[in-house]
Structures are given as structure tokens and as C-alpha cells.
């Protein structure tokens, strides 16, 4: 059974999800807050993390951001308020792969879990053994190991970030439509993911651009989408 870690402070919801996910072939691991999240991730190696945004102590938002900063790439689905669009955007910016608005039908969560797991095993998110190493300013983008490195500092990208950057690098100087990027990196164009490309571009710019608000490499093409513009002597 695929292990899913659920972090939510509502005991009734945790138990409901544990029972429902069990019926669909998932082994649900349950936590009421984030204090033991790293211990559970290391010990049980869950395939996916379901993380409530509003938690006692450390928020789900802060926990997700911390995990990503520390190099944790486990897929994350954030539970947010149904009508709080800003919470959903913040969740994606913190490194979540998708979100589900509360209250929700457990069937919706199972569908989102299955979709995220499919995307994370999709070839677009897999290491690119023929991709080589691309220099992006001071950074080296190793397409074989899904890593960015600079002066000994190494960052492991999430599946979505790698898939997007790898696709743009492979199509250097070719503007790509936002919808096409979404289709190729996520395999679907659902409303739930309509801002995923924008958010991941924002995160990647903060990582690799000297001036994220005036990007040199990941440029916006007005009315179309995005383009990767390499410098000279960019590949190794």
C-alpha cells in the first residue's frame, strides 16, 4: 500500500481520511501538527504529504517552505480554505504541488493524490540522462540529477520545478505557451493548476536570477508565456 502522510489538527477528519484512503489502497500515516514531520518522512518514506495550511504552532505554509528549503522533494497537497484564493497561491509559492479547498469530498482528495503521483512519475519530472549540464548565470543546472549548484551549494528541485526548467532549457530561445508548459509538465490543464506554471516560474526566478523582478534567463513573453534565454558558453 502506498503510504500517505496526513498532517491535520482535526482528529475526526484524520480518521475519516485514514479510513477512506485505506479503502482505496493507501496506508495513511497521521499527525496532528508538524513537530514530527521530518521523523515520519525519514522513517516511513511516504509517497505524498497532505498538509493543512492552518495548524497549531507551525503553519502548514511555513512547514512546506521549510521542507523545500531543506531539500525535501516529497509531493505536497495543501489543504486550504475553499474560497481563499490567496491561501492557494501562497501554498503553491511555498512549494506545494496542488491544493484542495476545505470542506471537500474525500473523493476529490483521492483524485488529486492520484493526479499528483502520476505527475511526479511522469517522464517530464524524471532526471534527463541525455540533458547534460546547463550554466545559468552563476548556477549549474544538472539535468541528470535534478539539481542546481553554485560554489558548492546544491539545491534539489521539486518535480514540478525540474520539469518546467528542463523543458524551457531544452527549448532555449523558443517562446512556449503557458498552456503548453502546463500540459507537458503536469499532464493536464485543470483549473486547480492554472497558476502552477506562474508560481513555479516565480520560485525558479528567485533561485537563479540576480534580479528576479528583471529576469535575464527566464523571461516573460507577453501574450504567449515564457522563454529561456541562455547566455554564452552555457552548457557543459
Whether the ω angle into residue 175 lies within 30 degrees of 0, i.e. cis, is no
Under 8 Å between Cβ of 82 and 152: no
pLDDT at position 132: 83
pLDDT at position 143: 86
Entry pTM:
0.62
**What distance in Å separates the CA atoms of residue 46 and residue 73, rounded to the nearest whole number?**
11
CA dihedral 158, 162, 164, 166 (to 10 degrees): 180
pLDDT at position 41: 93
pLDDT at position 118: 80
85-93 vs 60-69: helix axis angle to the nearest 10? 20
How does pLDDT run along the chain (236 residues), one tens digit per residue?
Answer: 899 999 999 999 999 999 999 999 999 999 999 999 999 999 999 999 999 999 999 999 999 989 987 878 789 999 987 666 777 777 777 888 888 888 899 999 999 999 888 876 655 566 666 678 899 999 999 988 888 899 888 887 887 888 899 989 988 998 988 887 877 776 654 544 557 788 889 989 999 999 999 999 999 998 888 999 987 544 44
**What distance in Å separates the CA atoms of residue 200 and residue 72, rounded to the nearest whole number?**
16
Hey, what domains does the chain have and what are their CATH numbers? 2-121 (3.40.50.2300), 125-228 (1.10.10.10)
Under 8 Å between Cβ of 49 and 96: no
β 26-31/2-7 pair status? parallel
CA 40 to chain centre: 19
Asked whether the CA dihedral 114, 188, 216, 202 is positive or negative, the reply is: negative
pLDDT at position 185: 75
Strand arrangement of the beta sheet that strand 218-221 belongs to: 176-177, 225-228, 218-221
Amino acid at each position: 500500500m502506498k503510504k500517505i502522510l496526513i498532517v491535520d489538527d482535526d482528529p475526526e477528519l484524520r480518521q475519516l481520511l485514514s479510513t477512506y484512503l485505506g479503502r482505496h489502497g493507501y496506508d495513511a500515516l497521521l499527525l496532528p501538527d508538524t513537530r514530527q514531520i521530518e521523523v515520519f518522512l525519514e522513517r516511513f518514506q511516504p509517497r505524498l504529504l497532505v498538509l493543512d495550511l492552518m495548524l497549531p504552532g507551525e503553519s502548514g505554509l511555513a512547514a512546506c517552505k521549510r521542507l523545500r528549503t531543506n531539500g525535501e522533494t516529497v509531493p505536497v497537497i495543501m489543504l486550504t480554505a475553499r474560497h481563499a484564493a490567496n491561501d492557494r497561491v501562497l501554498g503553491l509559492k511555498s512549494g506545494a504541488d496542488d491544493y484542495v479547498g476545505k470542506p471537500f469530498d474525500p473523493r476529490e482528495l483521492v483524485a488529486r493524490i492520484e493526479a499528483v503521483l502520476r505527475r511526479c512519475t511522469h517522464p517530464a519530472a524524471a532526471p534527463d540522462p541525455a540533458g547534460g549540464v546547463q550554466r545559468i548565470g552563476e548556477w549549474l543546472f544538472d539535468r541528470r540529477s535534478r539539481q542546481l549548484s553554485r560554489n558548492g551549494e546544491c539545491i534539489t528541485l521539486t518535480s514540478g520545478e525540474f520539469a518546467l526548467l528542463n523543458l524551457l532549457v531544452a527549448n532555449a530561445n523558443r517562446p512556449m505557451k503557458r498552456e503548453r508548459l502546463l500540459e507537458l509538465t503536469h499532464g493536464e490543464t485543470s483549473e486547480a493548476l492554472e497558476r502552477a506554471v506562474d508560481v513555479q516560474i516565480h520560485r525558479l526566478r528567485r533561485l537563479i536570477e540576480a534580479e528576479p523582478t528583471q529576469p535575464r534567463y527566464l523571461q516573460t513573453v507577453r501574450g504567449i508565456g515564457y522563454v529561456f534565454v541562455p547566455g554564452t558558453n552555457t552548457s557543459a
